[in-house]
């Protein structure tokens, strides 16, 4: 994980610096694409007495401030990541559930142009690629 000043990030985003927010932000950076339960465990490893509610509140504040991004693959719980602002996408393995970042296919936000935006001014496109990760593909080929 790169050396990140979480205190400075919170201040620059206009958020009050609290121990739960610092723990949750560190957990999201350390565990990209983690679900809420995993982030609660990771935050508690850093701050033993952090409550479920404090983690949920922190995720809400961090997402609202743009420091954390939330996405929800179909049939899955919400996932969180610290990679924000670049409109990247995700690939999800149908077998093991692994999730990886996939850079934008075209390079200009929003990456995809709707054939008919129905009057919407589109500023972001969210794409999730579904398939089989390399490890699962090797395992399937071996059986």
Are 59 and 99 part of one and the same domain?
Answer: no
- Give mean pLDDT, residues 62-70: 97
Quote the pTM value: 0.84
Which long-range contacts does 46-52 make (Cβ < 8 Å, 24+ apart)?
Answer: 46/22, 47/19, 47/20, 47/22, 47/23, 50/19, 50/20, 50/23, 50/24, 51/20
In the predicted structure, residue 60 carries a pLDDT above the cut 80: yes
Residue 16 is part of a domain; what is its CATH number? Answer: 1.10.10
Residue 131 is part of a domain; what is its CATH number? Answer: 3.30.1490.190
| Structural domain contains residue 50 | yes
The whole-number pLDDT of residue 36 equals 97
The domain of 94 spans 85-142
The whole-number pLDDT of residue 27 equals 98
Q: Worst-scoring range by mean pLDDT, 47-56, 63-72, 120-129? A: 120-129
pLDDT tens string 105-130:
655 555 666 777 788 887 777 788 89
């Amino acid at each position: 994980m790169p050396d990140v000043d979480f205190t400075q990030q919170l201040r620059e985003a206009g958020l009050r610096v609290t121990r739960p927010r610092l723990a949750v932000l560190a957990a999201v950076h350390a565990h990209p694409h983690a679900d809420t339960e995993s982030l609660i465990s990771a935050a508690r490893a850093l701050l033993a007495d952090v409550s479920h509610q404090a983690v949920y509140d922190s995720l809400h504040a961090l997402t609202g401030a743009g420091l954390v991004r939330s996405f929800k693959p179909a049939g899955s719980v919400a996932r969180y990541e610290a990679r924000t602002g670049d409109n990247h996408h995700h690939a999800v393995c149908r077998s093991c559930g692994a999730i990886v970042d996939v850079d934008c296919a075209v390079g200009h936000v929003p990456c995809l142009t709707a054939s008919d935006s129905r009057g919407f001014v589109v500023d972001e496109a969210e794409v999730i690629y579904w398939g089989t990760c390399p490890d699962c593909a090797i395992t399937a080929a071996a059986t």
